């Protein structure tokens, strides 16, 4: 993962931009408290919850018994919580509307963090120079161009997809001709011609985001590799520095190529099939393997530089903690820098939920507690990452947190 400083600086920018929000009058605070569902604003909780969704609140899209009641209780008590998922592919407002409908509990989009949600921070970035708002970004994965539309709602103004590149020049990956009808449904003309060798005219990609599971792995892998091997991120070029043994990283990624960002590191996921299916992390592994085969890879000292977000990574937990602080501030007018003393992470996956909570280091000094439920991926025995407690379900996890924080309902 990229240095955490990137995220820290992005978070600081966001904290600065929301600080004025604290200076609201008590009348407005009351309204905000009501909107978030808190009925007892006089008691300001010093704790919060973070819930994974699949296997904790929902299973095969159906509510897990006790989930709706637990969320409704926290809302009623004004206890901050967020839903922290490695899922994605839809805008947060759509996702939260689906969950609200399934649980029959109205939820605000500010309570959900999907795997790609922190990408929104890069629209403005830590400074003007690194802002991607008006740069050309390539968004990979998801159904049709649903992820492009999510990126646009985040504020990226110039978004292309591998499908656009294929439709502009099908020779880019000839085997995707069998998917032509699919791409015709959403492809847009490229902002610049594709394949030009003239750097002033070619399509220059300034960042690559793998938002969601690719549907056409081969085209997506080919286009990503093309950009990473290009000069300055200009499609159709090939950097003369590639393979130069006297340069760092054997000359790879030394020629102004754009940063590569992945969300959702999960290698496999539980789908309707009886065995685990390859997830977004599987695509990353495949891409890394191809990259290594082409460049020589780690055995030759060549690294694929990338940033990975999603659970269990520090950046995602830091984003989640800051979102909890923002939501509590909206509800109670508390200072954004005032730490939430204890945060209970409730998850079903030891590798993501529990590992993330156990290894996360809070810049605010908050203590994260990992609670593993038995309603999802975890099927008993010694978990790969040891939680603070193993509980039967989300309701028991909430009870555990309330008791531990001495909050009497
Ligand atoms: Mg899960």
323 Cα–ligand 1 center, Å: 20
Q: pLDDT class for 274, splitting at 50, 70, 90?
A: confident
Per the structure, how many domains does the chain have? 2
Comparing C-alpha atoms, which of 124, 116, 113 is closest to residue 9? 124
Comparing C-alpha atoms, which of 211, 75, 84, 53 is closest to residue 140? 211
**How confident is the prediction for the chain on average, in pLDDT?**
89
Cβ 236 vs Cβ 264: under 8 Å = no
The stretch 82-103 carries a mean pLDDT of: 97
Asked if residue 6 belongs to a domain, the reply is no
85 Cα–ligand 1 center, Å: 7
Distance CA 267, CA 288 (A): 13
Of 40-54, 122-136, 279-293, 381-395, give the lowest mean pLDDT range: 40-54
Q: Are residues 214 and 338 in the same domain?
A: no
Asked if residue 176 belongs to a domain, the reply is yes
100 Cα–ligand 1 center, Å: 18
Asked if residue 43 belongs to a domain, the reply is no
Phi, psi dihedrals of residue 288, rounded to the nearest 5°: -65, -40
Domain that holds residue 364: 311-342+360-369
pLDDT score recorded for residue 198:
66
Q: Are residues 256 and 184 in the same domain?
A: yes
47 Cα–ligand 1 center, Å: 22
Q: Are residues 234 and 317 in the same domain?
A: no
pLDDT of residue 23 exceeding 50, the answer is: no
Q: Are residues 203 and 332 in the same domain?
A: no
Asked if residue 13 belongs to a domain, the reply is no
Q: Is 129 helix (H, G, I), strand (E, B) or coil?
A: coil
Asked if residue 103 belongs to a domain, the reply is no
230 Cα–ligand 1 center, Å: 38
Asked if residue 355 belongs to a domain, the reply is no
Q: Are residues 185 and 323 in the same domain?
A: no
pLDDT score recorded for residue 3:
37
380 Cα–ligand 1 center, Å: 15
Phi, psi dihedrals of residue 382, rounded to the nearest 5°: -80, 115
pLDDT score recorded for residue 402:
98
394 Cα–ligand 1 center, Å: 12
Distance CA 184, CA 188 (A): 9
87 Cα–ligand 1 center, Å: 9
pLDDT score recorded for residue 126:
87
198 Cα–ligand 1 center, Å: 47
203 Cα–ligand 1 center, Å: 39
373 Cα–ligand 1 center, Å: 10
The stretch 156-160 carries a mean pLDDT of: 98
Q: pLDDT class for 273, splitting at 50, 70, 90?
A: confident
Cβ 280 vs Cβ 287: under 8 Å = no
Distance CA 376, CA 53 (A): 10
The stretch 178-198 carries a mean pLDDT of: 85
- What is the distance of C-alpha 38 from the center of its chain? 27
Q: Are residues 241 and 223 in the same domain?
A: yes
pLDDT of residue 177 exceeding 90, the answer is: yes
pLDDT of residue 234 exceeding 60, the answer is: yes
Look up the pTM and report it: 0.86
Q: Are residues 130 and 230 in the same domain?
A: yes
pLDDT digits (tens, 9 = 90+) for 352-378: 999 999 999 999 999 999 999 999 988
pLDDT digits (tens, 9 = 90+) for 213-222: 999 999 999 9
pLDDT score recorded for residue 248:
98
Q: Are residues 224 and 262 in the same domain?
A: yes
99 Cα–ligand 1 center, Å: 14
268 Cα–ligand 1 center, Å: 11
Distance CA 401, CA 186 (A): 46
Q: Are residues 214 and 323 in the same domain?
A: no
Q: How far apart are the first and last CA of the chain?
A: 41
pLDDT of residue 26 exceeding 60, the answer is: no
Q: Are residues 274 and 320 in the same domain?
A: no
Beta-carbon contacts of 78 under 8 Å, excluding residues fewer than 6 positions away, are: 33, 36, 37, 38, 39, 40, 41, 43, 45, 331, 332
58 Cα–ligand 1 center, Å: 9
Asked if residue 15 belongs to a domain, the reply is no
Asked if residue 252 belongs to a domain, the reply is yes
Show the tokens assigned to 366.
Answer: 């908050």
Q: What is the 3-state secondary structure (H, E, C) of 180-249?
A: HHHHHCCCCCCCCCCCCCCCCCCCECCEEEECCCCCCHHHHHHHHHHHHCCCCCECCCCCCCCCCCCCHH
Q: Are residues 278 and 324 in the same domain?
A: no
162 Cα–ligand 1 center, Å: 29
Q: Are residues 230 and 278 in the same domain?
A: yes
């Amino acid at each position: 993962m990229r240095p955490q400083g990137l995220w820290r600086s992005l978070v600081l920018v966001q904290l600065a931009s929301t600080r004025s929000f604290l200076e609201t009058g008590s009348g407005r605070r009351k309204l905000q408290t009501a909107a978030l569902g808190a009925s007892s604003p006089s008691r300001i909780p010093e704790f919060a919850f973070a819930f994974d969704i699949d296997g904790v609140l929902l299973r095969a899209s159906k509510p897990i018994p006790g989930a709706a009641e637990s969320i409704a209780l926290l809302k009623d008590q004004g206890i901050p919580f967020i839903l922290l998922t490695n899922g994605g592919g839809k805008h947060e407002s759509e996702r939260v509307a689906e969950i609200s409908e399934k649980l029959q509990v109205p939820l605000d989009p500010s309570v959900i963090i999907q795997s790609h949600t922190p990408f929104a921070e890069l629209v403005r970035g830590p400074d003007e120079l690194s802002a991607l708002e008006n740069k050309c970004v390539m968004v990979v994965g998801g159904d049709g161009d649903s992820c492009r539309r999510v990126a646009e709602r985040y504020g990226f103004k110039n978004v292309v997809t591998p499908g656009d590149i294929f439709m502009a020049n099908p020779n880019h990956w000839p085997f995707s001709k069998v998917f032509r009808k699919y791409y015709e449904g959403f492809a847009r003309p490229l902002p610049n011609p594709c394949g030009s060798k003239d750097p002033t005219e070619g399509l220059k990609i300034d960042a690559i985001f793998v938002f969601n599971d690719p549907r056409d792995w081969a085209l997506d892998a080919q286009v990503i590799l093309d950009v990473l091997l290009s000069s300055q991120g200009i499609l159709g070029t090939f950097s003369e520095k590639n393979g130069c043994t006297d340069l760092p990283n054997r000359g790879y990624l030394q020629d102004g190529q754009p940063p590569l960002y992945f969300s959702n590191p999960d290698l496999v996921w539980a789908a309707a099939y009886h065995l685990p299916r390859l997830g977004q992390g599987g695509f990353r592994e495949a891409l890394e393997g191809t990259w290594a085969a082409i460049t020589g890879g780690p055995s030759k000292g060549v690294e694929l530089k990338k940033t990975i977000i999603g659970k269990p990574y520090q950046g995602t937990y830091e984003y989640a903690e800051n979102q909890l602080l923002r939501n509590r501030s909206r509800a109670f007018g508390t200072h954004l820098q005032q730490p939430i003393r204890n945060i209970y992470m409730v998850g079903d996956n030891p590798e993501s939920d529990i590992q993330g909570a156990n290894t996360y280091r809070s810049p605010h000094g908050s203590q994260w507690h990992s609670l593993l439920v038995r309603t999802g991926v975890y099927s008993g025995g010694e978990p790969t990452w040891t939680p603070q407690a193993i509980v039967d379900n989300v309701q028991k996890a909430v009870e555990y947190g309330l008791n531990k924080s001495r909050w009497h309902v």
